Amino acid sequence: MISGLPDLKPNLTRGAQVVEIENQGWHLEIPAGSKRSYRLAQLDDYRALPRRAFRWKPPLKLSLQARVSAQELPGTWGFGLWNDPFSFSMGLGGMAQRFPALPNAAWFFFASPHNYLSFRNDLPAQGFLAATFRSAAVPAPLLALASPVLTLTVLPLAAQVVRWLLRRVVRQDATLIHTGVTGWHAYSLEWEAGRVRFCLDEVTILETEVVPRGPLSLVLWIDNQYAALPPRGRLAYGALANPEAAWMEIRGLALLEGASARSE
């Protein structure tokens, strides 16, 4: 248990590891491997919780320092706040019962070139991003009824229609971050009721009124996954080969809530 934080739990695939390091930090690593298997090293605070019980609400400030093993890693990595929208669980294995939802997030997110993670054509969809998503409050049963439509995204024309529909119910904002990520940098995000502000080494890089709906959960991860819903083409997803082990290190993690977040 970390002072001021919930008990973060590891979520690991075979061969991946999370090792605690000094200064409230961790080393998250996935082994080398081919595209035939998915590899994940993750820490989060939501595995056994329903979304309504996620802890974090505005005003909140998240800050930490991070570095990764290479400038361009296959897959994704990052840290921040989200609602774990794509999971489906019936409550087995210690997980909460949870149905898929539309995304709400505020995070620092790296996506390698196979990814295309924007529904808008005027926002960056890959690279190292500071990004937010805010979705309409659509009831889970209605989403369940609409889910068969997603199977049609394997067809290019249907994928474009789904992408158009998602733009109507999911707002987003993002900016590319131009920095070397193999050295230590200080990252922070301030989540308030009417704005989210992202800082790199205490310099503001994005301030946006696209504010996620809470409550959200904390997640830190590295994996070899990709997903793409491009302006032209069909939905694509899967795993990428990483010839060498890939890692991310975090230190100095802190979350300040309420008046403490505003006073910083």
Q: DSSP alpha helices (H): ranges in the chain?
A: 140-146, 156-169, 258-263
Is the pLDDT assigned to residue 23 strictly greater than 90? no
Give the rounded percent of residues in the chain with a pLDDT score beyond 90. 69
Question: pLDDT-based confidence at 93, cuts 50/70/90?
Answer: very low
At 20 the three-state DSSP class reads strand
Domains of the chain from N-terminus onward: 9-263 (2.60.120.200)
Burial tier of 71 (Cβ tally within 10 Å: 0-12, 13-18, 19+): exposed
Highest mean pLDDT (candidates 57-61, 92-96, 100-104, 155-159): 57-61
Taking alpha carbons only, the member of 197, 230, 251 closest to residue 20 is: 251
Residues across the chain: 264
Residue 134 near residue 212, CB atoms below 8 Å: yes
Residue 27 near residue 77, CB atoms below 8 Å: no
